[in-house]
Amino acid sequence: MEIHVYDTYVEAKDGHTMHFDVITSQKDHAKAIQYAKEWLKTVGEADSKVSTEECQFCHSQGAPEPIANEIQKNGYFIQKMEGCP
């Protein structure tokens, strides 16, 4: 499976920056932003701003099996980097 990685930096309620990648099987910027917003809701950050400024396409690559499985199950995978709960 080919995956597409969207590098995302979002400001949390308390002002710190959360850095994470939205990984999808579709190269669709609007979907990546939608997936980022869905995930942010699950961590109590539903009001965080996510637009093309915060979420930018980074690269495409082959998917490791655990990530491919998660994408097939949920449509996307979030790779937490810095400041994420």
What predicted TM-score, i.e. pTM, was given to this entire model?
Answer: 0.95
State the pLDDT at residue 23: 98
Burial class (CB in 10 A: 0-12, 13-18, 19+), 26: middle
State the pLDDT at residue 84: 97
- How many structural domains is the chain composed of? 1
Per residue in 56-82, pLDDT (tens digit) is 999 999 999 999 999 999 999 999 999
* CATH number of the domain enclosing 21: 3.10.510.10
Q: Chain centroid to CA 83: how far?
A: 14
Per residue in 25-52, pLDDT (tens digit) is 999 999 999 999 999 999 999 999 999 9
Summary mean pLDDT of the chain? 97
CA atoms of 15 and 31, how far apart (whole Å): 25
State the pLDDT at residue 76: 98
Question: Is the CB of residue 51 less than 8 Å from the CB of residue 33?
Answer: yes
State the pLDDT at residue 61: 97
Over range 11-22, report the average pLDDT.
Answer: 97
Domain range for 20 is: 2-82
Helices (H) and strands (E) in the chain, counts: 2, 4
